[in-house]
Amino acid sequence: MEQPRHYRLLDLHVDLARQHVMRDGEPLDVQGLSFQLLACLLRHGDAVVDFDTLMTEVWAPAVVNEETVTQRVKLLRQSLGDDGRNPRYIRSVRGRGYQLCEPPQVAEALIADEPAVRQRWPGVWAIGLGVLVLATAGGAWWWHRASVDAGRVDPERTLLNRAMYYAGIGQKDNNERAINLYQQLLARAPGNAPAHVGLSRAYSARVCLYNFPYEWARRAQDEAEAVLRTEPGNAAAWAALGYAHDCSGELSQALRAYEKAVALDPKDDATRASAAYLYQEQGRLADALRANLDMRGDPARVRFRDVQIARELELLGFEEAAERRFRESFQLYPDSVFSNIAWPRHLFLQGRFEDARTALDQALARNTPHVDLYLLAGELALLRGDRAAAHLAFAQAQQLRPQMSLPGTLAALYADTPPAPAWLDGRIAELSKQFDAGAGFPVDRLELALLQDARGRRTDALRSVADAVREGYSDRFYLQTSPLLRGLAGEPAYAEAIDALSRRVAALRAQVLAADWRPADLREAR
């Protein structure tokens, strides 16, 4: 028998196919494993679902324990506004598992053009080279209040509401639905600013989240700029423009747009966090940490903020505080791609390679694919001396994100047949042109160094490493650990670059320790 698609659980309406949860016409933020857990409970009606069943139906093939299930139930309850001490939706059955408090009812589909009285949607996080812009890498929380005038539904407002709803879900298919609805609205109302802003963000999401070609980021810029030509004070349009530049790897332009958005709307925490990520990439670690701590609303609304803070603490040398945050995020958010890469990468940077490999295997089993997972797998394989496995991992990264430069470079450098000199020269020229035009992140210069070293241009490669540090690259641990850079590590110029980086970070660390805004767990740090 075909499983029902829609359920009612008290005042909740759950669409299993689209992974939506609605209450009183407003979407709830129930995604990933939290949604799968709710769906599992719904399929079992009001029967008690034991831990083994939950672990099999929700987490398999990943191996988890009862504590993981308990923590996920806690997160689901938070998303639903449920109280474990006085549950309305989900009750604990001591020693057995969990049970819905009321029998769920099979329901009719949501009405497609149902107007929302109020809708909140989160911006998505841009993903730069191998790290998040929160998210995931920048977005912005922004509000839209729908209106119903004397019982008459405005069709343009309805299209906008539905587009925003789908865009806020954070899945590829729903992002495409949002794009279609924004385009329909703009065909009817070409001057609709929220539709241009929404379409801009959805185009950027194609690039940053769903591996579309970079041309869509250019189109995203066009949409945001169309609004700013007539509404230069539109904070949401500035945030969307920043996101488009971010997805194109244009750090300076993205940061200027993000800062303009925050100046116009100081309550926009998500865009502040996106700017903080770019501060981090510029080496402005104290500024990045302070911005992430300076949330004006609910910090929990800014996804992956805790991972960003952990990364900043790691770069500043507060390893214990960073590790605690990375580990907790990895345990509590198994469906977060950013948490899944952050913990094994941290272990790798600390030289705990076996632990890193174990954590990486667990992350890969969680089915949250990310290019960095495969890049890390390749580096760990090189540390084991398994060049073939490294090439395979780099090739998987390239297949996942073919428009991204680094995976293709590594796949070629570690193939059985070395790349031709002409190929290396072309790749070097391409990256150099990008930097000359002011694009790219400091970390991208390490890829240039790898190519130059492979071409036999050792002096140029060392200069590229020094340039990366000069422009703000701050990961001393990576420079000392990565097998990719071992060919340069014995050179005096390489050690000088690390020394320069260490002196800069030490000054920033002292600045953080002296600040009254530093995190509570750094109060006793030295």
> Which tokens in the block code for residue 438?
């002011």
pLDDT at 134: 33
Residue linked to tokens 């530049």: 245
Q: Quick count: other Cβ atoms within 10 Å of Cβ 84?
A: 13
Is residue 124 scored above 80 in pLDDT? no
Judge contact between 25 and 119, C-beta under 8 A. no
User: 20 - beta bridge partners?
Assistant: 15
> Which tokens in the block code for residue 111?
């009405």
> Which tokens in the block code for residue 89?
């939706």
DSSP annotation of 297 reads S
pLDDT at 141: 32
**Burial, 62: exposed, middle or buried (Cβ in 10 Å; 0-12, 13-18, 19+)?**
middle
Tens-digit pLDDT profile for residues 510-523: 999 999 999 888 87
> How many Å apart are CA 99 and CA 246, to the nearest integer?
44
Q: Helices (DSSP H) in 210-284: which residue ranges?
A: 215-230, 235-247, 251-264, 269-281
pLDDT at 144: 39
* Distant-in-sequence, close-in-space partners of 78: CB < 8 Å, separation ≥ 6: none
- State the Cα angle at 21 between 15 and 27, rounded to 5°: 130
CATH architecture designation of domain 119-284: Alpha Horseshoe (1.25)
Tens-digit pLDDT profile for residues 37-75: 999 999 898 899 998 889 888 877 666 778 888 888 988
On the question of a common fold for 6-106 and 119-284, the answer reads no
pTM of the model: 0.70
> How many Å apart are CA 226 and CA 211, to the nearest integer?
25
Is residue 466 scored above 60 in pLDDT? yes
Q: What is the largest CA-CA distance in the chain?
A: 76
Judge contact between 318 and 287, C-beta under 8 A. no
> How many Å apart are CA 515 and CA 498, to the nearest integer?
26
pLDDT at 522: 85
Judge contact between 451 and 405, C-beta under 8 A. no
Where is pLDDT greater, at 119 or 105? 105
Q: How far apart are the first and last CA of the chain?
A: 64
HEC string of 73-125 equals HHHHHHHHCCCCCCCCCEEEECCCEEEECCCCEECCCCCCCCCCCCEEECCCC
pLDDT at 119: 28
Where is pLDDT greater, at 139 or 267? 267
108 closest CA partner among 17, 4, 28, 1: 4
> Which tokens in the block code for residue 113?
């053009």
Q: Quick count: other Cβ atoms within 10 Å of Cβ 70?
A: 13
Is residue 2 scored above 80 in pLDDT? no
Q: Model confidence at 106, in pLDDT bands (50, 70, 90)? A: confident
484 closest CA partner among 526, 450, 458, 518: 450
User: 143 - beta bridge partners?
Assistant: 120
User: 49 - beta bridge partners?
Assistant: 98
Average pLDDT over residues 473-501: 96
> Which tokens in the block code for residue 108?
């009719």
Where is pLDDT greater, at 368 or 162? 162
- Helix (H, G, I), strand (E, B), or coil: what is residue 152? strand
Q: Supply the mean pLDDT for the chain.
A: 86
Average pLDDT over residues 352-366: 93
Where is pLDDT greater, at 403 or 456? 456
- Helix (H, G, I), strand (E, B), or coil: what is residue 142? strand
pLDDT at 108: 55
Specify which of 144-153, 172-181, 290-299, 409-418 reaches the highest per-range mean pLDDT: 409-418
Q: Model confidence at 157, in pLDDT bands (50, 70, 90)? A: confident
135 closest CA partner among 332, 341, 290: 341
Is residue 138 scored above 80 in pLDDT? no
> How many Å apart are CA 392 and CA 375, to the nearest integer?
10
Q: Give φ, ψ of 2 to 5 degrees.
A: -70, 135
CATH number for the domain whose boundaries are 6-106: 1.10.10.10
pLDDT at 95: 82
Query: On the CB side of 276, how many CA atoms lie within 13 Å of its CA?
Result: 31
pLDDT at 15: 85
The residue ranges of every structural domain in the chain are 6-106, 119-284, 418-526
Average pLDDT over residues 342-361: 96
Query: On the CB side of 108, how many CA atoms lie within 13 Å of its CA?
Result: 3
